[in-house]
Amino acid sequence: MIYSMTGYAAVSEELPLGTLSVEVRSVNHRYLDVQFRLPDEFRSFEPGLREMTAARLTRGKVECRIGFQKNPASDVALQLNTVLLDQLVDLDQQVRRRLPQAASLTVSDVVRWPGIVEADAMPLEQLREQAQALMQRALEEFTASRAREGDKLKTLLLERVRRMEELVDKVKPRIPQLVAAYQERLAARLRDALKDVSASLDEDRIRQELVMFASKVDVEEELSRLVTHLAETRRILSSGGAAGKRLDFLMQELNREANTLGSKSADIDTSQASVELKVLIEQMREQVQNIE
């Protein structure tokens, strides 16, 4: 399976204490970069959640958001902070001794005082297990979305590989004919140039020069390497896994051969094929950047 580095998933679950949610999204990146956004009380969950994420991914810039919305109707016991209450009563008395006209604290004033009313601590270990289970679900959906996108990328890449193979198959049978025609044109020019020259060149020497110059337009080797690289591209796409870096390297090799093909071209058809190959390779390179 080929995986895209672009993906998204969002899951949530209703718990007795509230609603727990997990959102995972990613874009392409040179290596794996995972960032977590989660409530402060869940900060201790991050190492385990990060380990789960890293086990499923190899590349991409990934953002994971963990949210928790408390349920106001949940059965949470409230307790009075008696130590803080005693301090408030003592301060109230001190103030009224100095300012007899000052009003005493009311019950409403007391219960609104920060920290005076405390709720039972949330069961973090239980929430940790629930968060990890929900994260597992999110990663499964996230991986499935990346697989679907990767399958689309694979189809696009294979279509361009097929078109490149057609171009190579079209050009390759014509190479011997092109080289022979080039030699003939070059030989004619040399003989025309030597008509007015008193010292003529030896025919063997002319033949050697023709062979040397003809080798500069013989692109048989470049076409063979193109075929090899395209076959390797097909193999990698069929094998699946983390293929992005290998495909990116192959795009560089394909582009190098296409450039050489254009520079050694001896006719317009070969030049046009070189241009079309480079356009297809560039399109493939853009798509490969999104593959894990």
Phi, psi of 23 (to 5 degrees): -130, 130
Of residues 175 and 91, the one with the higher pLDDT is: 91
pLDDT given for residue 280 in this prediction: 97
pLDDT at 161 over 90: yes
Q: How confident is the model at residue 16 (pLDDT cuts 50, 70, 90)?
A: confident
**Sign of torsion, CA 275 277 283 289?**
negative
pLDDT at 281 exceeding the cut of 80: yes
Going by CATH, does the domain composed of 148-288 fall within 1.20.140?
Answer: yes
Rg for the chain (alpha carbons), in Å? Answer: 37
pLDDT score of 199 more than 60: no
> What is the spatial distance between Cα 16 and Cα 236, in angstroms, rounded to a whole number?
48
Predicted confidence (pLDDT) per residue in 39-66, tens digit: 888 899 999 999 999 999 999 999 999 9
Any idea where the domains of the chain sit in the sequence? 7-73+132-146, 78-119, 148-288
For position 117, what pLDDT does the model report? 66
pLDDT tens for residues 64-113?
Answer: 999 998 876 655 556 778 888 888 889 888 888 888 888 888 888 887 88
Higher-pLDDT residue of 183, 246 = 246
Instruction: Give the per-residue pLDDT at 196.
Output: 55
Predicted confidence (pLDDT) at residue 162 exceeds the cutoff of 70: yes
- pTM higher than 0.85: no
Q: Which positions ≥6 away from 30 have C-beta within 8 Å? A: 59
Q: Is the pLDDT of residue 190 over 70?
A: no
Does the domain made of 7-73+132-146 have the CATH classification 3.30.230? yes
pLDDT score recorded for residue 194: 61
Residue 171: its pLDDT value, please? 84
Residue 136 CB partners (closer than 8 Å, separation 6+): 52
